Amino acid sequence: MPTTTTRRRWLAILGITTLGTTPALQAAGLLDKLFKSKDPAMSIETDEFIWNISACKYSLDIELRGNSRVSTLMYGNRMMDASGKDVARFYTGFGAPWGGGSTPMGGDIGRARLPKTLELSYYDYIEGVLYQLQAPLPIERIHARFSEQTVSHTKPYGQVVQKYDNIRIGVGPQGHIMVWLASVSGNQVELATYQATPVKGFDPAEYNRKLPGGSFYLTEDRFEELFDPVNRLSKPTQERIRGGWRADPRYYFETLRLKYPWRFKLTGAVSQLVELAGRYANFEGQAIGAWEMAGYRTSAEMRAVPRSAEFWYLDKEGQRRYLGLRFYQKDRALSEPDLTLVREAFATMFGPRTLADNEAMAMEPDMATVEVNVGEDFKTVTAALVKGERRLPLAMGRIETFPVQPGAYWEGTETPAPEMLKLFREGPPPKGGR
């Protein structure tokens, strides 16, 4: 891991702090306010939002607790705005598992323009390959999503916040890259996929020799880095990696991303489903507020198979309750859920599908429901995939349930003040600020 001294040196060299924008960017923002164009395209390119970056990587499906190793190079990792100016420079070891997020050095951006270009240079120790990417980011979609608002029931509790405020970079096998937009509110959506280019003849030792003292160096013997005991790779796994084993990108970029027309439904000892948060196999997620539930129940939408869900509901006595559950019972790799059973149920119900089917427009007659039934004791919970008269049971793992105070979300949390309660029920004001 980089030392504190090295981290400070890196930040100083790049002129980056984790407390907000650089003086140059602040000055650029002031000029924008003075000479801002009314052109919508210019607005998209010059509007500022509070946002940050996170990163994740694939795991090894041949070693349940084993850790893969990927690291960006010291330089060459940045995001640029429409004018070509840097809005972010970062360094990361991609510490989080697939779909999750760890903050890189330089990843706390603060308020800044949105990026239009991504540059990435990273070394995959499993493959012994340096990959590079320079690609456009869909700034219009980023702007549209970052402009959406919600009411947070995590941090900051009960405040109107951006529905999305994070650009998450996921490094998959063989140079495949996924970018999501995410937030701590539980909302996450795919933004784009890319294919990075392998750099032929790259030598970590030669690269290290060119770096100034106090830099982040690559481990020149990649097996020394990989087989460090901290990565928990068994001898058989080590031999397979030495023999050329590579992870299959199709699992992340095809299998997990297949979508179907379905929505959640809560039944049993329930009088009203008030809110829900769904998380899906492709690591998209939706936090549906009370003011959005009517639209959720009536809109036909394509979703990947469920990974986990949280429900806030009223029982038949009017008591508000929380229910959280997982649609898996074990992991397939380090911190990656094994969704085989739920994927098989959806394949049985809908038949074979491809990524091209994701683009089909879902209609109400196409919709299935993942019906979660709450028993009279509130602890007995079952789930089924239902379409018409057909029902397929769904396996579940961990279940958590408890009563909460009126309008509250978490055990031990008091009922919110009236102003906050109104926000939770009605959502952000139409002209709420960013």
What does the pLDDT look like over 10-42, one tens digit per residue?
Answer: 555 454 333 333 333 333 343 344 334 456 667
Q: Three-state DSSP class for 226?
A: helix
CA dihedral 171, 173, 174, 179 (to 10 degrees): -30
Q: Is the pLDDT of residue 9 over 60?
A: no
Q: Is the pLDDT of residue 153 over 50?
A: yes
DSSP 101-120: -BPPBT-EEEEEEPPSEEEE
- Confidence at residue 425, expressed as pLDDT on a 0 to 100 scale: 97
- Confidence at residue 25, expressed as pLDDT on a 0 to 100 scale: 34
- The model's pLDDT over 56-109, given as tens digits with 9 standing for 90+, comes to 999 999 999 999 999 999 999 999 999 999 999 999 999 999 999 999 999 999
Q: Is the pLDDT of residue 5 over 70?
A: no
**Quick one: average pLDDT of 273-285?**
98
Tell me the C-alpha distance between 280 and 5, whole Å.
40
**Quick one: average pLDDT of 176-199?**
97
CA 89, 94, 95: angle at the middle one, nearest 5?
Answer: 130
Average pLDDT of every residue of the chain: 92
**Quick one: average pLDDT of 266-284?**
98
Q: pLDDT band for 155, please (50, 70, 90 cuts).
A: confident
- Confidence at residue 412, expressed as pLDDT on a 0 to 100 scale: 93
Tell me the C-alpha distance between 169 and 101, whole Å.
8
Q: Is the pLDDT of residue 385 over 50?
A: yes
Contact 199, 182 (CB under 8 A): no
- Confidence at residue 19, expressed as pLDDT on a 0 to 100 scale: 31
* Residue 141 main-chain phi, psi, to 5 deg: -70, -40
DSSP 352-381: ---GGGGGSPP-GGG-EEEEEEEPTTSS-E
Q: Is the pLDDT of residue 434 over 80?
A: no
Q: Is the pLDDT of residue 222 over 90?
A: yes
**Quick one: average pLDDT of 291-312?**
98
- Confidence at residue 46, expressed as pLDDT on a 0 to 100 scale: 97
**Quick one: average pLDDT of 351-370?**
96
- The model's pLDDT over 334-356, given as tens digits with 9 standing for 90+, comes to 999 999 999 999 999 999 999 99
Eight-state DSSP code of residue 322: E
- Confidence at residue 56, expressed as pLDDT on a 0 to 100 scale: 98
Least confident of 28-37, 109-118, 319-328: 28-37
Q: Three-state DSSP class for 256?
A: helix
- Confidence at residue 214, expressed as pLDDT on a 0 to 100 scale: 86
Tell me the C-alpha distance between 183 and 105, whole Å.
18
CA dihedral 98, 177, 21, 151 (to 10 degrees): -50
- Confidence at residue 30, expressed as pLDDT on a 0 to 100 scale: 37
